[in-house]
Amino acid sequence: MALIKEIKGKQPVFGENIYLADNATIVGEVEMGHDCSVWFSAVVRGDVNSIKIGNKVNIQDGAVVHCTYQKAATILGNNVSVGHNALVHGCTIKDNVLIGMGSIVMDDVVVESNSIIAAGAVVLEGTHIESGTIYAGVPAKKVKELNEEQTARLIEGISDNYLLYSSWFKD
């Protein structure tokens, strides 16, 4: 069973149809919408500020979602995929976004809707990611614009897949 922990009188709140892997950790002021999943060894740590997660969000194996004390909450919109071993910290991720495997998204970053942060990218503090783009590299830079087919396949497709995968693990 996942570790769900109250901190300083604040405890996670979950929507319907949630899957939490056995060793996922969700702590403190975390609000999670419907149809979400938090996978093996992932951590969602709302101990020093709040974390708000929309609907149909998947936080994949080893990912960390955190925030910054007295500075930056973390907000994930709807239909967001946070890839394996990614770090999402004190930022705002809008709807229909893919955060690639092993990427880092720092404080006060805003990722607009229909965008991708490529695997291994490092998005520096305060960066504003344009809607409909792919950002890659260290530090992350705009490398490409997305078309509708890419958005459907790469962003919506992954989110849909993780909703399916989570159904396999439910009792």
Task: Report the 3 state secondary structure along the chain.
Answer: CCEEECECCECCEECCCCEECCCCEEEEEEEECCCCEECCCCEEEEEEEEEEECCCCEECCCCEEECECCCECEEECCCEEECCCCEEECCEECCCEEECCCCEECCCCEECCCEEECCCCEECCCCEECCCEEEECCCCEEEEECCHHHHHHHHHHHHHHHHHHHHHHCC
Give the per-residue pLDDT at 171. Answer: 65
Fold for the domain defined by 3-169: UDP N-Acetylglucosamine Acyltransferase; domain 1 (2.160.10)
Block mean pLDDT (10 aa), the chain, length 171: 96 98 98 98 98 98 96 97 98 98 98 98 98 98 94 92 94 65
Where along the chain do its domains lie? 3-169
Give the per-residue pLDDT at 170. Answer: 82
